Amino acid sequence: MDRGFVLKDYGSIKLYEIPSFNKTGLVRHGFTTRIGGVGAKPYDTLNLAFHVGDNPETVTANREKVCRLFGTRLEAVVSAQQVHGVNVAVVDDRHAGCGAFSEETAIPDTDGIVTARPGLLLATFYADCVPIFILDPLNKVIGSVHAGWKGTAARVGARAIEIMEDTFNSDPGRCLVGIGPSIGPCCYEVDEQVIGAFRSEFDWWQEILWPVTSEKSRLDLWKANLKILLEAGIDPDNVELAHMCSCCNQNLFFSYRGSRGNTGRMGAIIMLAP
């Protein structure tokens, strides 16, 4: 049985996909790597984000390439100005094209996007932060959530599930979830500010933080997000974890930590099949 995420090769572009999502036949989805684009260092090569200083024409060319792979056009993209917050937007056809051609037109102040509209290509962007894919196969609803340490501490994944319940009557126990490639506990050393935020927010903070010095600990954002999603009612049998560290695998992934902030972004892409 295929578990976790699998790397699929589409010629130049490669995608990490979740077999359980594919099995439903309801979605096209994937997490891009840094491979297969046209960008130059330090954005080599498939940077999909406008806000990181890359040439906008290069970003647009990369995005068009990904859209073609998904059988759609840039006009179908919906993206957000991610701020490490807890806001989740429910989007429909009126949002088509938001953030597709520039950062300015992306949905402001938003780290999660949910829709029940087929054909909208939800796109969120990453270099170490945790991408969470959500699919309610019964009501045909999808969600995409960007969770760095701040969003994780604020339970942004649970917020998206809650919004799907309230808006579309989704049953968390029947939703499928994928926690994608992102910085792992192997590489994510954090300081007192971050440690304090998790210690005050979660009874189980000792399960996700390991002291390395008197001031620093390693943080497991994968397990933290998993636990938050299970507390929100997700069935552990319906969760897939990539267990791929973006910082350990910089041949495949952009890593904010690994590049000291000067790098591109991968995309978590999901669309209900039109």
Residues that bind Zn ion (CB under 5 A): 184, 186-187, 245, 247-248
In the complex with Zn ion, the residue whose CB is nearer, 124 or 246, is: 246
> Could you tell me how many residues make up the chain?
274
Q: Which residue has the tokens 């599930």?
A: 161
In the complex with Zn ion, the residue whose CB is nearer, 73 or 257, is: 257
Nearest to 227 by CA among 125, 146, 157: 157
Report cis status (omega within 30 of 0) of the bond before 42: yes
In the complex with Zn ion, the residue whose CB is nearer, 242 or 272, is: 242
In the complex with Zn ion, the residue whose CB is nearer, 85 or 148, is: 148
Query: Is the separation of the CB atoms in 207 and 223 below 8 Å?
Result: yes
CB of 67 to Zn ion, least distance (A): 30
Nearest to 77 by CA among 48, 52, 54: 48
Q: Which residue has the tokens 């894919």?
A: 133
**Alpha-helical segments (H) within 106-254:** 149-153, 156-168, 192-201, 221-231
CB of 74 to Zn ion, least distance (A): 33
In the complex with Zn ion, the residue whose CB is nearer, 172 or 180, is: 180
CB of 257 to Zn ion, least distance (A): 9
CB of 202 to Zn ion, least distance (A): 22
CB of 53 to Zn ion, least distance (A): 25
CB of 187 to Zn ion, least distance (A): 3
CB of 222 to Zn ion, least distance (A): 11
Query: Is the separation of the CB atoms in 18 and 181 below 8 Å?
Result: no
3-class DSSP state of 179: strand
How does strand 239-241 pair with strand 176-179?
parallel
Report cis status (omega within 30 of 0) of the bond before 45: yes
Cα 8 from chain centre? 17
In the complex with Zn ion, the residue whose CB is nearer, 198 or 253, is: 253
In the complex with Zn ion, the residue whose CB is nearer, 21 or 126, is: 126
Query: Is the separation of the CB atoms in 239 and 29 below 8 Å?
Result: no
Q: The tokens of 117 are what?
A: 């509209």
